Amino acid sequence: MSPIQASSAVPVIDVRGVTRRFGSRTVLDGVTLLVERGELFGLLGPSGSGKTTLIKLMTGIDRADEGTVRMLGEPMPKLAMLQRFGYMAQSDALYGELTAKENLTFFGALYGLKGERMNKRMQAAMAIVDLEAHLNKAVSAYSGGMKRRLSLAIALLHEPELLVLDEPTVGIDPVLRQSIWRELGDMRKRGTTIVLTTHVMDEAEKCDRLGLIRDGKLTATGSPEEIKRQSGSASIEDAFIALGGGARA
């Protein structure tokens, strides 16, 4: 459990009464959620539950119909916040005709990186995802899993104080997935706040706190142990089902 939960500091993510509709469909319904500095917070929910929409509101990609969203004390969306957080979308946003190095250079420039620092960060980020040998390969020649890894490297590139990851390990082999989670754990120890969505129950167990989301509503929040106690379950998977998560994550 993160020791900073009782902190009076401004939350890194502050979502208050957020509702988002698409036509007649309510995708998020009055969601309120706080994420404190240094936490590794996981959003767990079935497809269509509203996880990705909530992530898009947090990062300023989308706007709420009702309620407020603040990141690091600033109202979202706000373009100037781009350099303060790293974002990995569910779908890879890469330039296939460019090499991995060219993609990293482009996104690094958006983050204000250049020169020797850019080169060092590029090497470090690609080492984390085990792609150093493919730096000069066109992204169009990458496999799906390699594209996911490159997307993660881009999100890590500028050592952001907040990392927002939408299903970061989908399509990544188990050995590399463990390596990535070790790095996320190390980043958290260094003070990086991490918010991620996952469908993988053992990944949910690694989070400081979880938010269970179903039909656009948070059905439970708390540490994995708190959620298991609340539901009277022995596992997160059973707790997820008991607390309204449905039969499938």
Adjacent-strand bridge partners of 68: 16
Residue 2 pLDDT: 44
Residue type at position 139: V
**Residue 247, phi then psi, degrees to nearest 5:** -85, -5
Q: How far apart are CA 183 and CA 36, in angstroms?
A: 20
Residue type at position 75: P
Q: How far apart are CA 28 and CA 48, in angstroms?
A: 10
What burial class does residue 207 get, using C-beta atoms within 10 Å of its C-beta: 0-12 exposed, 13-18 middle, 19+ buried? buried
Omega prior to 174 cis, within 30 of 0? no
| Per-block mean pLDDT, blocks of 10 residues, the chain (249 long) | 51 97 96 96 90 95 96 92 90 93 95 94 93 96 92 93 90 84 89 91 92 93 94 90 61
How many degrees, rounded to 5, is the angle at CA 67 between CA 246 and CA 77?
A: 100
Residue 194 pLDDT: 97
Residue 27 pLDDT: 97
DSSP letters, 8-29, are: -SPPSEEEEEEEEEETTEEEEE
Residue 69 pLDDT: 97
Residue type at position 67: G
Q: How far apart are CA 12 and CA 71, in angstroms?
A: 6
pTM of the model: 0.87
Are the C-beta atoms of residues 208 and 39 closer than 8 Å to each other? yes
CB-based contacts of 7: which residues, under 8 Å, 6+ apart? 36, 37
Q: What is the DSSP letter of 242?
A: I
The packing angle between helices 144-156 and 100-110, to 10°, is 30
Q: Residue 200 corresponds to which tokens in the numbers above?
A: 């993988």
Residue 245 pLDDT: 54
- In the chain, how long is the greatest CA-to-CA distance? 54
Architecture of domain 39-47+82-245: 3-Layer(aba) Sandwich (3.40)
Among left, alpha and beta (phi > 0; psi -120 to 50; other), residue 71 is beta
